[in-house]
Structure 1
């Protein structure tokens, strides 16, 4: 494991944005697979691999780069040490980044599911508030610990590791209607 971590650290230093995009893509895809396997209880032949690829794509193209860039901005403007610095970072992260990012994430998922603009807005209206509230139950404490204890170049990894569970929730939550159809057809 230490050899893997050394290689990862070297690649992270050389290609920070690319590595964090790759890890976010892999972990969003993993979260979707967990949702399909363990929550939706799909059999191997009924897995929706296109859905998993879409989640991985969102991680690779949106979540990884956005999170890495955001953490860099927070570090640049607030620094990296001290309780007050951490509190400022968490406040900005949860009051500015999280609401916007969740809206972008949910809109992107809806559009990838084939929703038009009108039904995407309706899906946002129906899901956004609950997901944002649940975000506030998990992420402030995660970010307090992350910003206080973890060096900047590992912060996205920590968030993405915790986000495996969050991504599973988002995958299930944004595919509930499809899951209900799958459950009915399965029986």
Structure 2
């Protein structure tokens, strides 16, 4: 497992943009597979392969590219690998970027699901604030750990396994 992690980190160092896009696409599809199989217990016979492929496309063409570009901008806006820099990055992400990104993500997801503009607007108004609040519960601590660990701790932790 440690060797796999090191290989991933080496690829990420050499080809960050490509690896970010591939990772986001597979995470989107994989997350939807987990949702259908573990949470919804659909079974493979009624697994929604079409929607899984749509989630992968959203990951490849939207999430991976937009986040990859945003992280490049964020690294230029806030430099360093300190705890303070990690908190600043998280705040910039959550206050400036997340609300816009979430709105675009919901719109793209619903468009790929075949909703009309009217239906999309109605669902957007109904779901956006709940999704944004859920985002604020989940992502800030994850992002602080990620921003800080990308500079020091993750390699140390894996070297101890």
Q: Normalization by structure 1: what TM-score?
A: 0.75
- Which of 73-82 and 94-103 deviates more? 73-82
- Please say if 1:86 is aligned against 2:69: no
Q: Secondary structure at the match of 1:114?
A: coil
Residue in structure 2 matched with residue 72 of structure 1 by the alignment = 72
Q: Is the 8 A contact 1:80 1:147 kept in 2?
A: no
The correspondence of residues 30-109 of structure 1 with structure 2, limited to 5 A, is 30-109=30-109
> How many angstroms does 1:15 deviate by?
2.1
> How many angstroms does 1:13 deviate by?
2.8
1:44-97 deviation digits (Å, cap 9, x = unpaired)? 110100100000111111111211221121111110222332222111100111
Q: Is the 8 A contact 2:81 2:151 kept in 1?
A: no
Structure 1: 5+ residue stretches without partners:
155-187
Mapped to 2, the partners of 1:134 and 1:50 lie a distance apart of 26
Structure 2: 5+ residue stretches without partners:
155-161
> How many angstroms does 1:6 deviate by?
4.2
Root-mean-square deviation (CA, aligned residues, Å) is: 1.8
The correspondence of residues 1-187 of structure 1 with structure 2, limited to 5 A, is 1-151=1-151
- Which of 11-20 and 44-53 deviates more? 11-20
Mapped to 2, the partners of 1:48 and 1:91 lie a distance apart of 36
- Which of 117-126 and 6-15 deviates more? 6-15
Which 4+ stretches in 1 moved above 6 angstroms? none
